[in-house]
């Protein structure tokens, strides 16, 4: 049923339809509304046969999810940013042990400086942790991806992280066609674990593995991620057959048929990019968009095929590797080996800076005129940066840069930048 | 697409207001998107929320940069925040105050705007009268319906009653209806004045 609903609430209700048996989480913005709503459904009995476990930290949350999953329970948790970092050791354990936990990541920047707003630094920090990582463009897709995530995770015994932009999606109230129990039950069979802690049939999970077998264990994990590249589009197709709705899959192309320039991005910014592309198209520029839904495993072949005819590929990222540049760009470049094209990286939206259609249009116009630098920071205040560099050159004890930049902004700007207030 | 920006103070319910408007528009079969300005807001601090209404899918995720309408829950923000930033030139503003618009000190800075669309409404007084609490949200939405015609009073009424059950819903709906009538008559008055 189509409902006007907050993103977090849509996720919570959809997760409940997936019949999780253990939910354990520690609240952190912007994930909080999801967990509050799931907790309320467990308490009211609407989500029956589920235990909601209050834990003292994110590390405990993931550890409880691991324990629950190992006993054969369908386990769910959610976190963001510093919370994800705090559970990091257990995040690697979940995938290393092959436990099909599903986790929502309400994407948020990582401090310091402390910042509660959206970017993709948290997801990128764990891109090599062995989890499948799916990115949602809308709240509809975020809800649908959770159902697909449980199916995928349990089939392959690999944990799945559903990434949705914190605040931008989690706190947005928009139309979401909510699934019903019958549909979800038809799509998602009961969890049949590959390995289970069972007193009647004892096994040990989590053995010490030395050099004699460690590489093989890792290679098997790699193969399961390769399998996921096959299963993700198949599961998405099945979902479409059942619901009539396209959600998930590996990548999605928009107006790329005759495109000379293609923008690649993850998550909710794709909507604003499409609006900007429509306007540049009207101006006669042949620009298209490829949205990547499956970031891990990275769909190299699909990306290569979708971008093959482009003269220029612009990768727009809400994260960056401080000592290098684009993270997603690197994956795109690897996928495009031996092809003749120009790669441009645009870093945008860090720490919640608004990515406006106007800035995107300007950027696309520059791309079309071949004026885009290899690495561009969208809407960066170069003057403020230069003033701080100058302070650092002049005085040894120039003080903390973050605080200096805040003072600088207050002094030099009267208008708010970004998300409004 | 019609875009609305709400200004208020933490605790006054700007997020709820934007959500209620989105739900009302959705109930009328339109696409709507409401979202807050994503801050670590504190009670009393200036806060902002947004609502977009359109007849087709809303894809953009940027904050509302050029609002078609402003709903200002707290007139004391006038000296603290650039309330009218980006307002389109034929845009609407509904300000919660018992003072008339021309006493607020905007005559010069807003000279080029359509003054028949810049309206004040004593929403807090109406809320106190009907609700017994100084919560002007529902009243302002009623006023917004009368001012812009972007949403029907019936849809606001339904959304308010869905959100607040029982007597609280009744009283909020009554405050909204009173504000609708207040603004509707004020709009008529201004239209007459401009044709005279």
From chain A residues 354-393, the ones with a CB under 8 A of any chain B CB are: 354-358
Nearest CA to CA, how far is B29 from chain A (Å)? 10
Q: Where are the domains of chain A?
A: 2-243, 251-377, 387-412
- CB pairs < 8 Å spanning A and B: 93
Q: Express each pLDDT in A355-407 by its tens digit.
A: 999 999 999 999 999 999 999 999 999 999 999 999 999 999 999 999 999 99
β-strands A375-377, B2-9: how paired?
A: unpaired
CATH class for domain A2-243? alpha beta
Output the CA torsion sign for B81, B87, B89, B91.
Answer: negative
- Helix residue ranges, H only, A97-130: 121-125
The distance of B31 to chain A (nearest Cα, Å) reads 7
Give the burial class of A30: count Cβ atoms within 10 A of its Cβ; 0-12 exposed, 13-18 middle, 19 or more buried.
Answer: buried
Please give the model's pTM, rounded to 2 decimal places: 0.96
A216 shares contact with chain B (CB less than 8 Å):
no
Distance CA(A205)–CA(A105), nearest Å, equals 26
B9: which strand partners?
B46
The whole-number pLDDT of residue B15 equals 92
ipTM of predicted complex = 0.94
Query: Minimal CA–CA distance to A254: which of A233, A280, A274?
Result: A274
| pLDDT of amino acid B38 | 63
Burial string for A81-111 (b: 16+ CB within 10 Å, else e) reads bbbbbbbeebbbbbbbbbbbbbbbbbbbbbe
3-state per-residue secondary structure call for chain A? CEEEEEHHHHHHHHHHHCCCCEEEECCCCCCHHHHHHHHHHHHHCCCCCCEEEECCCHHHHHHHHHHHHHCCCCEEEEECHHHHHHCHHHHHHHHHCCCCCEEEEEECCCCCCCCCCCCCHHHHHCCCCCCEEEECCCHHHHHHHHHHHHHHHHHHCCCEEEEEECCCCCCCEEEEECCCHHHHHHHCCCCCCCCCCCCCCCCCCCCCCCCCCHHHHHHHHHHHHHHHHHHHHHHHHHHHHHHCCCCCCCEEEECCCCCCEEEEECCCHHHHHHHHHHHHHHCCCCEEEEEECEEECCCHHHHHHHHCCCCEEEEEECCCECCCECCHHHHHHHHCCCCCCEEEEEECCHHHCCCCHHHHHHHHHHHHCCCCCCEEECCCCHHHHHHHHHHHHHCCCCCCHHHHHHHHHHHHCCCCCCCCC
> Could you tell me the two tokens for A153?
């995770």
Q: What is chain B's Cα-based Rg?
A: 15
Q: Are A2-243 and A251-377 the same fold in CATH?
A: yes
Phi/psi region, residue A206 (left: phi>0; alpha: psi -120 to 50; beta: rest), is: left
pLDDT in tens, chain B (196 residues): 999 999 999 888 899 999 999 999 999 999 999 999 866 567 888 899 999 999 999 999 999 999 999 999 999 998 888 899 999 999 999 999 999 988 888 777 788 899 899 999 999 999 999 999 999 999 999 999 999 999 999 999 999 999 999 999 999 999 999 999 999 999 999 888 877 6
**pLDDT tens figures, A261-319:** 999 999 999 999 999 999 999 999 999 999 999 999 999 999 999 999 999 999 999 99
Q: In Å, how far are A178, B19, B47, B95, B131 from B44, measured between CA atoms?
A: 36, 20, 8, 17, 21
**Model pLDDT, residue B39:** 65
Residue from B22, B28, B38, B162 whose CB has the most chain A CBs within 10 Å, to mutate: B38
A1 CB near a chain B CB, below 8 Å?
Answer: no
Q: Which residue of B has its CA nearest to A117?
A: B38
CA A300 from centroid of its chain's CA atoms? 17
Q: Which is nearest to A104 in space by CA: A166, A183, A186?
A: A166
Instruction: Pick out chain A residues at pLDDT < 70.
Output: 413-421
pLDDT at position A420 is 37
CA B142 to chain A, closest CA, distance in angstroms equals: 20
What distance in Å separates the CA atoms of residue B63 and residue B65, rounded to the nearest whole number?
6
CATH number of A251-377: 3.40.50.920
Structure token pair of residue A16: 């409940």
Contacts of A199 (CB under 8 A, 6+ apart): none
Tokens describing residue B185: 């008559």
Given a contact cutoff of 8 angstroms between Cβ atoms, the answer to whether B52 and B69 are in contact is no
Q: How far apart are CA B116 and CA B191, in angstroms?
A: 7
User: In this predicted structure, what is the pLDDT of residue B185?
Assistant: 96
Contacts of residue A354 in chain B, CB cutoff 8 Å?
Answer: 62-63
Q: Cα A133 to chain center, whole Å?
A: 6
B contacts of A6 (beta carbons < 8 Å): 19
pLDDT for position B135? 92
CA atoms of A325 and A296, how far apart (whole Å): 19
- Give the relative orientation of helices B153-163 and B166-195 as an angle to the nearest 10 degrees: 160
The count of other CB atoms within 10 Å of the CB of residue A79 is 28
Helices (H) and strands (E) in chain B, counts: 5, 6
| Contact state of A173 with B18 under an 8 Å Cβ cutoff | yes
A272 touches chain B (CB under 8 A): yes
Question: CA-to-CA distance for B128 and B185, rounded, in angstroms?
Answer: 21
Residue ranges and CATH numbers for the domains of chain B are: 2-195 (3.40.920.10)
Quick one: pLDDT at residue B193?
A: 82
Query: CB–CB of A4 and B23 under 8 A?
Result: yes
Residues A107 and A165: beta-carbon distance below 8 Å: yes
Q: Which two tokens stand for residue A2?
A: 């189509």
Contacts of residue B34 in chain A, CB cutoff 8 Å? 172-174
Check if the beta carbon of residue A118 is closer than 8 Å to that of residue A349: yes
Read off φ and ψ for residue A317, nearest 5 degrees.
Answer: -125, 140
Handedness of CA B104, B107, B113, B116 (dihedral sign): positive
DSSP state of A372: -
Cβ atoms of A413 and A387 within 8 Å: the answer is: no
Question: How many Å apart are CA A204 and CA A43, to the nearest integer?
Answer: 33
pLDDT by residue (tens digit) across B3-39?
999 999 988 889 999 999 999 999 999 999 999 986 6
pLDDT at B111: 83
Residue pointed to by tokens 């006669």:
A284
């Amino acid at each position: 049923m189509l409902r006007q609903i907050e993103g977090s609430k849509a996720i919570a209700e959809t997760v409940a339809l997936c019949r999780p048996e253990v939910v354990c989480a520690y609240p952190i913005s912007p994930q909080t509304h999801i967990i509050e709503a799931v907790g309320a459904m467990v308490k009211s009995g609407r989500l029956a046969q589920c235990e909601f476990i209050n834990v003292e930290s994110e590390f405990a949350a993931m550890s409880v999810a691991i324990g629950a999953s190992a006993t054969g329970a369908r386990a769910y948790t959610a976190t963001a940013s510093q919370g994800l970092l705090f559970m990091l050791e257990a995040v690697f354990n979940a995938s290393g042990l092959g436990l099909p936990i599903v986790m929502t990541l309400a994407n948020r920047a990582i401090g310091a400086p402390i910042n509660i707003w959206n970017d993709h630094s948290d997801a990128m920090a764990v891109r090599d942790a062995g989890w499948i990582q799916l990115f949602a463009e809308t709240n509809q897709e975020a809800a649908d991806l959770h159902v697909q995530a449980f199916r995928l995770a349990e089939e392959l015994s690999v944990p799945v992280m559903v990434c949705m932009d914190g605040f931008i999606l989690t706190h947005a109230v928009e139309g979401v066609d909510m699934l019903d129990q019958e549909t979800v039950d038809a799509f998602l069979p009961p969890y049949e674990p590959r390995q289970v802690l069972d007193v009647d049939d004892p096994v040990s999970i989590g053995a010490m593995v030395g050099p004699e077998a460690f590489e093989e264990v890792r290679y098997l994990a790699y193969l399961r991620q390769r399998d996921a590249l096959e299963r993700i589009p198949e599961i998405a197709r099945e979902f479409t057959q059942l619901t009539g709705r396209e959600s998930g899959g590996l990548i999605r192309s928009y107006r790329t048929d005759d495109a000379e320039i293609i923008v690649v991005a993850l998550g909710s910014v794709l909507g604003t990019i499409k609006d900007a592309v429509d306007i540049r198209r009207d101006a006669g520029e042949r620009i298209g968009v490829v949205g990547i839904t499956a970031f891990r495993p990275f769909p190299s072949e699909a990306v290569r095929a979708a971008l093959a005819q482009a003269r220029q590929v612009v990768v727009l990222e809400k994260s960056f590797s401080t000592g290098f540049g684009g993270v997603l760009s690197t994956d795109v470049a690897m996928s495009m080996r031996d092809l003749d094209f120009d790669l441009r990286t645009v870093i945008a939206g860090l720490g919640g800076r608004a990515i406006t259609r106007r800035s995107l249009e300007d950027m696309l116009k520059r791309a079309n005129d071949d004026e885009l630098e290899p690495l561009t920071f969208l809407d960066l205040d170069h003057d403020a940066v230069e003033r701080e560099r100058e302070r650092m050159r002049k005085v040894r004890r120039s003080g903390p840069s973050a605080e200096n930049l805040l003072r600088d902004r207050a002094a030099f700007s009267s208008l708010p930048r970004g998300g409004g207030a | 697409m019609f875009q609305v920006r709400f200004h208020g103070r933490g605790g006054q319910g700007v997020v709820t207001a934007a959500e209620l408007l989105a739900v009302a528009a959705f109930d009328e079969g339109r696409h709507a998107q409401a979202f807050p300005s994503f801050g670590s807001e504190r009670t009393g601090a200036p806060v902002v929320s947004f609502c977009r209404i359109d007849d087709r899918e809303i894809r953009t995720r940027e904050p509302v940069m050029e609002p078609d309408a402003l709903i200002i829950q707290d007139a004391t923000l006038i000296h603290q925040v650039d309330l009218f930033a980006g307002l389109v030139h034929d845009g609407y503003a509904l300000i919660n105050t018992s003072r008339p618009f021309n006493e607020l000190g905007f005559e010069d800075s807003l000279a080029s705007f359509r003054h028949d669309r810049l309206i004040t409404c004593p929403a807090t007084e109406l809320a106190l009268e009907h609700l017994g609490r100084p919560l002007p949200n529902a009243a302002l939405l009623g006023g917004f319906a009368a001012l812009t015609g972007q949403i029907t009073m019936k849809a606001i009424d339904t959304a308010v009653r869905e959100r607040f059950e029982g007597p609280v819903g009744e009283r909020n709906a009554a405050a909204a209806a009173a504000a609708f009538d207040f603004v509707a008559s004020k709009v008529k008055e201004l239209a007459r004045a401009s044709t005279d």
